[in-house]
Amino acid sequence: MSEAELATPFRDRAGRALQDGFLQQALTIATTKFLELRREAFGEFPEGDALRDRARAIKEATLQRLDHYLEQLVDNVERLGGHVHFATTPDDARRIILDIAKRTGTRMAVKSKSMATEEIHLNEALEAAGVTPVETDLGEYIIQLAHERPSHIIAPAIHKTKGQVADLFARELNRPNVPADPEVLTAIARAELREKFLQADMGITGANFAVADAGTVVLVTNEGNGRMVTTLPRVHVAVMGVEKVVPSMTDLAVFLAILAKSATGQKLSVYTTLVRGPRKPEELEGPDEFHLVLLDNGRIAQLGGTLREALYCLRCGACLNVCPVYRSIGGHAYGYTYPGPIGILLTAMLNGAASVKDLAHASSLCGACADACPVRIDIPRMLIELRKEVDEKKIAPWSERVVFTLVAWLLRHPALFRLAAPLARVFQRPFARGGRIERLPLFFGEWTRTRDLPAVAARTFSERWAALEREGR
């Protein structure tokens, strides 16, 4: 999202999203479908729960010795003919990739879907350097043509209707009279992009996993673009967050068993591609060069930080699909690369706690995300930690801190607390009718604009206890 858009308060961005009829419909259909598919998949998979526990343990074990596993990964990738680069910041990563592009004479790069490359805003940098990036995942292709950012971690264009896509193709691809038929639209994308695959100089991907013991990078996709992009161009660049490394192939299988099920309800995605460096000399096809760019961008600092558990994330999107907030406002309203419950944590990781002073409260703490997460990340706990950090660092507005400090003080003094009810009864008198309040001034109007409020009772329970106690004797 642009600086200008981020300047709009989150609450207003959320409000706009709530007013968008198309978006509301699309969100409901898509998230409902995904969460039903996930439930069905795990419903038929009794081993699922035990595997989720295993997966979580593997992630934690890996982080505990992350230095060891990364070293092993690097050694193996290099031994198999690949090159490894270390990017601490997004700028580092961009420069590394641009250098490779320059050295290899790359004019066009085809990209398989990668949230890591979104994070580092790679496309803009490539364009500025005269390299044309072409998104090939259908959803990413659509939003690239529309000059938008993805609105969901795994289904980037779910906010678009087929009519909108048809109009987009007609306009951007110079194909008048395109019908709003997903089959036709897909066929158009297939034809347009096949040319690009065959002509591209470089393929850029992310990586779902990298197996340390085998120097192997793993891509989980459905469309085939992941395979195209790692087979046809002469250079392959994979950008990967350091936390994606897993120790062994045995560990990999645990994740493969639960990832696609969590994301889309499939047992496995259509293509799982294990890439072990550039093509062997005896192979007919494959890139001549393989580059793995290991990305830090705030991850390493969290190894010893409060958001460490967020490093387990598999980027499956399950938490988005069950989050009542995401399901109401969609991805763009969050304003950053990663939306939804995990997105708030990742944004804090990448941009610091201050960046989520509003987003940390974009949650009713219902816990549906933690339940859905295949690696059982306790997202609500970390949201509360972020809120705490925002309070402690005095990022929260002083008026709020005053109110909470006052409330806390009141709760410690029961005699004063008991005054709250009679005082409230006095203040509410102009507003209360039949035990209900329909309108309140100032801050309290935030509730009453859309909901009634029960009036403070004529006699509180505490005030009735004496009589109730006598009744019991």
Partner 1 sequence: MSTRAEFLRRIRAELARTPALFPATPSLRPAHPREVADTIRRELSERWPATLQRFQQEFERVGGVLHRVATVQEVPSVVGRLARERDARDVLTWHPSALGFDPARGLADEKLTCRTMPEAVPDAAARRALRDTIATTPLGLTGVDVALAETGTMILRSGPGRPRSTSLLPATHVAVFDRTALVESLAQVAVLLEAWHADEASGAVINFITGPSRTADIELTLTRGVHGPKDVHAIFVERPLRE
Partner 2 sequence: MRAALMITCLGDMLFPDVGVAIVRLLRSLGVTVEFPPGQTCCGLPLFNSGYHAEAAGAARRLVEIFKDAPYVVVPSGSCAWMVKHEGPGLLKDTPLAGEARRLAERTYELSQFLVRVLGKTRFGSRLRGRVTYHDSCHLLRGLRESATPREILENLDGVELVELPGHDECCGFGGSFSVRLPEVSSAILEKKLTNVEATGASCVVACDAGCLMQMAGGLTRRKSQVRAVHLAELLEP
Q: Name the residue nearer to partner 1 (CB basis): 61 or 421.
A: 61
207 near partner 1, judged by CB under 8 A: no
Residue of the chain from 16, 39, 83, 276 that contacts partner 1 (CB under 8 A): 276
Residues that bind partner 2 in the complex, under the rule CB under 8 A: 11, 14-15, 18, 324-325, 328-329, 361-368, 370-371, 384-392, 404-405, 407-408, 410-412, 414, 417, 420-421, 424, 436, 438, 443-444, 446-447, 449-457, 459-465, 468-469, 472
Residue of the chain from 167, 296, 358, 452 that contacts partner 1 (CB under 8 A): 296
Q: Please identify, among the stretches 67-75, 319-327, 338-346, 414-422, the one whose residues bind partner 1 according to the rule CB under 8 A.
A: 67-75
Going by C-beta distance under 8 Å and a sequence separation of 6 or more, which residues neighbour residue 30?
152, 155, 158, 321
CB of 408 vs partner 2, minimal distance in Å = 3
Kindly identify the residues of this chain, within the stretch 208-227, that bind partner 1 according to CB under 8 A.
Answer: 211, 213-214, 216, 222-225, 227
199 near partner 1, judged by CB under 8 A: no
Q: Name the residue nearer to partner 2 (CB basis): 225 or 363.
A: 363
CB of 95 vs partner 1, minimal distance in Å = 7
389 near partner 1, judged by CB under 8 A: no
Q: Name the residue nearer to partner 2 (CB basis): 116 or 320.
A: 320
Residue of the chain from 8, 24, 60, 108 that contacts partner 1 (CB under 8 A): 60
267 near partner 1, judged by CB under 8 A: yes
Site mask for partner 1 (CB under 8 A), range 75-114, x = bound: -----x---xxxxx---x--xx------------------
Residue 57 binds which entry of partner 1, partner 2, none, CB below 5-8 Å type-dependent: partner 1
Q: Say if residues 14 and 333 touch (Cβ distance below 8 Å).
A: yes
467 near partner 1, judged by CB under 8 A: no
Q: Say if residues 326 and 320 touch (Cβ distance below 8 Å).
A: yes
155 near partner 1, judged by CB under 8 A: yes
Handedness of CA 427, 431, 437, 443 (dihedral sign): negative
CB of 102 vs partner 1, minimal distance in Å = 15
Q: Helix crossing, 249-264 with 21-43: angle to 10°?
A: 130
320 near partner 1, judged by CB under 8 A: no
Q: Please identify, among the stretches 158-166, 340-348, 427-435, 440-448, the one whose residues bind partner 1 according to the rule CB under 8 A.
A: 158-166
Q: Which residue's structure tokens are 């043509």?
A: 145
Residue of the chain from 23, 145, 185, 316 that contacts partner 1 (CB under 8 A): 185
HEC string for the chain: CCHHHHHCCHHHHHHHHHHCHHHHHHHHHHHHHHHHHHHHHHHCCCCHHHHHHHHHHHHHHHHHCHHHHHHHHHHHHHHCCCEEEEECCHHHHHHHHHHHHHHCCCCEEEECCCHHHHHCCHHHHHHHCCCEEEECCHHHHHHHHCCCCCCCCCCCCCCCCHHHHHHHHHHHCCCCCCCCCHHHHHHHHHHHHHHHHHHCCEEEECCCEEEHHHCEEEEEECCCHHHHHHHCCCEEEEEEEHHHEECCHHHHHHHHHHHHHHHHCCCCCCEEEEECCCCCCCCCCCCCEEEEEEECCCCHHHHHCCCHHHHHCCCCCHHHHHCHHHHHHCCHHHCCCCCHHHHHHHHHHHHCHHHHCCHHHCCCCCCHHHHHCCCCCCHHHHHHHHHHHHHHCCCCCHHHHHHHHHHHHHHHCHHHHHHHHHHHHHHHCCCEECCEECCCCHHHHHHHCCCCEECCCCCCHHHHHHHHHHHHC
Residue 430 binds which entry of partner 2, partner 1, none, CB below 5-8 Å type-dependent: none
Q: Say if residues 221 and 113 touch (Cβ distance below 8 Å).
A: yes
Q: Name the residue nearer to partner 2 (CB basis): 1 or 384.
A: 384
Q: Name the residue nearer to partner 2 (CB basis): 154 or 370.
A: 370
Q: Please identify, among the stretches 124-132, 297-305, 360-368, 382-390, the one whose residues bind partner 1 according to the rule CB under 8 A.
A: 297-305
Kindly identify the residues of this chain, within the stretch 225-254, that bind partner 1 according to CB under 8 A.
Answer: 225, 227-228, 230-232, 242, 246-254
Residue of the chain from 52, 62, 125, 263 that contacts partner 1 (CB under 8 A): 62
Q: Name the residue nearer to partner 1 (CB basis): 122 or 254.
A: 254
4 near partner 1, judged by CB under 8 A: no
Q: Name the residue nearer to partner 2 (CB basis): 201 or 378.
A: 378
33 near partner 1, judged by CB under 8 A: yes
